[in-house]
A and B are shown apart, each in its own frame.
Chain A
Amino acid sequence: MLFLRDLGHTEVGGFGISAADDLLLIEDVVLVRQQCSVVTVAFEDESVAEFFDRQIDRGLRPEQFGRVWVHTHPGDSALPSSVDEETFARVFGRSDWAVMAIVACGGDTFARLQFPAGPGGSVDLPLAVDYRQPFHGSDHDAWIDEYLTNVQSVPDFLFPESPCLSLPSHGAISSRTYSPLELADWPAW
């Protein structure tokens, strides 16, 4: 997610793929087609439906792929906006449980688990990388392809530039090839 966050100048979002035997262990983040600005991210409805169909075809259960919504924020704050809260309640409020996770450009993180069962409730969760888990290794080329395939940058007239400007622009990424040395400097997770 850190790699995807830093690939462009916009927000970016996706669905976390949970381990079959530990639903709060996120083994992958999958992007769907989305329109993103410096301060917004909006998934395309058709792409979300296709994502669901593909995961079912892989043999996953809905609770493994449709419950963890993750996206990035510009700047240092990972606290959810009113738009985030509205989406989380409307889209994920009917599920037995769901997590909204946010990774800010400055490194701050936020995650909340909500569960409507019984009287309902929610609890904030810490986010951490579990280094005990096996990892197939970074695949920057595949991650860049996934990003370029799914993320469409749209202008935001109020916030033309992100606070995170240290990395190449979306257009620059698509127009050149990066050496392994350059890619090694980018954060990976």
Chain B
Amino acid sequence: MHILYINNDGAGFADQIHVEDGTTVSKLFTQRVPHGRTSDYLIRVNRQPTTSDQVLQPGDRVSFTPVKIEGA
């Protein structure tokens, strides 16, 4: 199935990707950000906060965006 995946790491990504049926949010994170920590990202599915065990559905929109952007 295909989902829309948004991430700013590397060259940046905002496009359709193919994932296996039954893929969970945590599995996608491990695949796409293998050296990242989930605590460094806000993970949303269809613009809503999600849980790590949520199973992705065809057409879902998944974004990994940075958190704690702070200056002083």
A residues within 8 Å of B by Cβ? 11, 13, 39-43, 45-46, 48-50, 52-53, 56, 61-63, 66-67, 69, 71, 81-84, 87, 90-92, 94-96, 102
* Contact residues in A for B36 (Cβ distance below 8 Å): 94
Are the C-beta atoms of B12 and A91 separated by less than 8 Å?
Answer: no
Distance, CA A77 to CA B24, complexed state (A) = 47
Known A49-B44, A62-B13, A90-B40: A42·B69 in contact at CB below 8 Å: yes
Are the C-beta atoms of B72 and A39 separated by less than 8 Å?
Answer: yes
Are the C-beta atoms of A45 and B68 separated by less than 8 Å?
Answer: yes
B22-63 interface code vs A (CB 8 A; 1 in, 0 out)? 000000000000001000101010010000000000000101
Count chain B residues whose beta carbon lies closer than 8 angstroms to a beta carbon of A.
24
Distance, CA A7 to CA B10, complexed state (A) = 35
* Contact residues in B for A90 (Cβ distance below 8 Å): 40, 68
How near does chain A come to B16, taking the closest CB pair, in angstroms?
12
B residues within 8 Å of A by Cβ? 6-14, 36, 40, 42, 44, 47, 61, 63, 65-72
A–B Cβ pairs within 8 angstroms, 12 of them: A13-B71, A42-B70, A45-B68, A49-B44, A49-B65, A61-B14, A83-B72, A84-B71, A91-B68, A95-B8, A95-B10, A95-B12
* Contact residues in A for B9 (Cβ distance below 8 Å): 94-95
With CB as the reference atom, state the residue of chain A lying closest to B70: A42
Are the C-beta atoms of B70 and A45 separated by less than 8 Å?
Answer: no
Distance, CA A16 to CA B12, complexed state (A) = 15
Known: A53-B63, A69-B69, A95-B10. 15 other contacts (CB 8 A): A40-B72, A42-B68, A48-B42, A48-B66, A48-B67, A49-B44, A69-B71, A71-B71, A84-B71, A84-B72, A87-B69, A91-B66, A92-B66, A95-B8, A102-B71
With CB as the reference atom, state the residue of chain A lying closest to B65: A49
Distance, CA A11 to CA B69, complexed state (A) = 13
Are the C-beta atoms of A53 and B72 separated by less than 8 Å?
Answer: no
Are the C-beta atoms of B72 and A62 separated by less than 8 Å?
Answer: no
How near does chain B come to A168, taking the closest CB pair, in angstroms?
23
CB contact between B12 and one of A11, A61, A71 (< 8 Å): that residue: A61
* Contact residues in B for A48 (Cβ distance below 8 Å): 42, 65-67, 69
